[in-house]
Amino acid sequence: MSGYGSIYIEKGPGGFGGPLVVTPTEKRNKVMYILGEVDKPPCLDRIVELSGMTPVDGYETTVPEEEIALAIVDCGGTLRCGIYPKKRIPTINIMPVGAAGPLANFIVPDIYASAVGPDQIREATPQEVRDIEETRLEKDGAKGSGSGGDSKKGKGLFGKLLGK
């Protein structure tokens, strides 16, 4: 048995999305934070304490996407808030921002919550884990695996960030 615990995350005051349940695994056990305004998100210690995930400062280092269980951003609605939801990685924004910016169509309640602080994070119950995971699997399966016919695949920084 691993030393990981499932966490329940809800949107904060004036926030959007959620609730989210994040369950780290032996392979997917990192919480990546990419912040422009602060060094460390206020909710990080609570997440690490309850989940056992390893924190990773995304500006200092990187890890393979398949190791990221949760992403934390502080984005006012431009690019950062949509990068990880586009890849279906659960994302919390410490700012109260909804579906905005060029990736707004990927910022959906089952994978994103905003205005999140320490008070919006707690241990998840077994029933919450089952319910939210079933919903996510249904939505992921309905989206299919096709990526469309975009012939202009980005190879630069934004292409990599956007998963092209």
Q: Which residues are catalytic?
A: 75
Surface-to-core class of residue 155, CB atoms within 10 Å of its CB (0-12 exposed, 13-18 middle, 19+ buried): exposed
Write b or e for each residue in 116-150: b if 16 or more Cβ atoms lie within 10 A of its Cβ, otherwise e.
beeebbeebeeebbeebeeebeeeeeeeeeeeeee
- For 79, what's the count of Cα atoms within 13 Å in the CB-facing half-sphere? 9
For residue 81, the surrounding DSSP H or E stretch is helix 80-86
Query: Hey, is 157 helix, strand or coil?
Result: helix
The tokens describing 75, both together, are 């984005």
Q: Is beta strand 20-22 parallel, antiparallel or unpaired with respect to 7-9?
A: antiparallel
